């Protein structure tokens, strides 16, 4: 059992930290205030391989391993959770299913543009009446001679407003339950795809969260992912993997808030000594650190299991559950140790607190993670 990063991963982490410190951290507040990630930053991240970390080089990717991807999301999220989730949703929810279930022709057609960041990927599953209850999806598809036609609506779609490449989950016949669901690769610039709104949110405000209308969207038959009826399986596997990346995002948020708290409590003086010298403060820092390290071990273990093609469903649920609740706990206490300054935007921990909460909700709420874990414990 080895708890050390490999030399390659150490080099990657160092280069990520340099980029994040120089290019992302200085504009993180601006991203939050403007509700937008600059395209110039997305271009930079794409050129460095952030958008195609574990996509093989033959499909235009960086050809790194899955763990390198998780480290990338973690490091970026320390400074800007919006940028972290841009990478995570693009990679886990769009590139991932194409890489896992796509034909060779589909991989060659769609992955290079995604890996280069020319197209931003997303996953169109959630609907007004179907969140965790995937089987309740209403978006319907019908088969024509040479295509499928999709009609319905989707909400809460991360990265949706870029109108890049989407994986759309739709049903052929709702009475068939999960057996009626299929997955399609859809060019979101196709006629009939309409952006209805971009949500104004409490946190991750630089990340687009989009509602779509799909009105008779024509999809070529060769864009069916795997086989008809495989949509539920694809959705579940995609979400299982996505939970690891959301956990990495949450871990990064927690680490970013913790690092700022350590620095602040050593610089800020009260009653003639640094705040960190007071036991009440140092105990808060200690609790933050313990929770962060616990979550990190769970995230890294789940990533290792996926990388090595071992079962990881329960482990990804545990990792996501732990890291998301750690992010909320740590950012809340980060505000507390900053005192009044923690409530001021300039000190950033209030933004991290707002960003943290969503990690307990998307990709399966904390309650759903507990249900998954509980079911897998009972044989």
Catalytic residue set: 363
For residues 141 and 184, is the Cβ–Cβ distance under 8 A? yes
DSSP three-state, residue 23? helix
User: Strands 209-220, 147-158: parallel, antiparallel or unpaired by DSSP?
Assistant: antiparallel
For residues 172 and 236, is the Cβ–Cβ distance under 8 A? no
Spatial CB neighbours of 42, under 8 Å, sequence gap ≥ 6: 51, 86, 117, 120
363 CA to centre of own chain: 8
DSSP three-state, residue 115? helix
Neighbouring C-beta atoms of residue 64, cutoff 10 Å? 20
Given CA atoms 173, 174, 176, 180 in this order, what sign does their dihedral have?
A: positive
Neighbouring C-beta atoms of residue 366, cutoff 10 Å? 17
Q: Please identify which residue in the block is written with the tokens 């339950």.
A: 177
Round to whole Å and give the CA distance between 5 and 77.
19
* End-to-end Cα separation, the chain, in angstroms: 28
Q: Which two tokens stand for residue 218?
A: 């024509």
The pair phi, psi for residue 282, each rounded to 5°, is -65, -30
Q: What DSSP designation does 5 have?
A: P
């Amino acid at each position: 059992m080895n708890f050390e990063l490999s030399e390659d991963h150490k080099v990657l982490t160092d280069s990520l930290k340099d980029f994040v410190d120089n290019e992302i951290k200085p504009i993180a507040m601006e991203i939050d205030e403007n509700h937008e990630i600059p395209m110039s930053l997305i271009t930079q991240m794409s050129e460095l391989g952030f958008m195609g970390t574990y996509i093989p080089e033959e499909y235009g990717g960086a050809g790194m391993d899955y763990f390198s991807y998780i480290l990338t999301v973690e490091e970026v999220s320390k400074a800007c959770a919006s940028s972290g989730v841009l990478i995570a949703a693009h990679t886990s929810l769009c590139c991932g299913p194409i890489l896992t279930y796509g034909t060779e022709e589909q991989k060659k057609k769609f992955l290079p543009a995604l890996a280069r960041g020319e197209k931003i990927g997303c996953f169109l599953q959630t609907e007004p009446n179907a969140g965790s209850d995937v089987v309740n999806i209403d978006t319907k598809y019908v088969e024509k001679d040479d295509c499928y036609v999709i009609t319905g609506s989707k909400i809460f779609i991360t990265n949706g407003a870029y109108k890049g490449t989407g994986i759309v989950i739709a049903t052929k016949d709702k009475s068939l339950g999960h057996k009626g669901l299929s997955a399609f690769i859809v060019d979101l610039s196709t006629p009939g795809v309409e952006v209805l709104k971009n949500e104004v949110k409490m946190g991750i405000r630089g990340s687009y969260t989009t509602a779509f209308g799909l009105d008779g969207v024509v999809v070529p038959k060769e864009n069916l992912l795997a086989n008809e009826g495989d949509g539920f399986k694809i959705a579940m596997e995609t979400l299982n993997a996505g939970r690891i990346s959301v956990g990495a995002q949450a871990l990064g948020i927690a680490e970013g808030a913790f690092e700022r708290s350590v620095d602040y409590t050593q610089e800020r003086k009260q009653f003639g000594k640094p705040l960190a010298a007071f036991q009440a403060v140092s105990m808060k820092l200690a609790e933050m650190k313990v929770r962060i390290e616990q979550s990190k071990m769970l995230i890294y273990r789940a990533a290792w299991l996926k990388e090595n093609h071992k079962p990881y469903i329960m482990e990804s649920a545990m990792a996501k559950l732990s890291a998301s609740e750690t992010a909320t706990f740590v950012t809340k206490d980060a505000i507390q140790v900053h005192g009044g300054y923690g409530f001021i935007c300039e000190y950033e921990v209030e933004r991290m607190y707002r960003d943290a909460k969503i990690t307990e909700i998307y990709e399966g709420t904390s309650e759903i993670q507990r249900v998954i874990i509980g079911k897998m414990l009972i044989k």
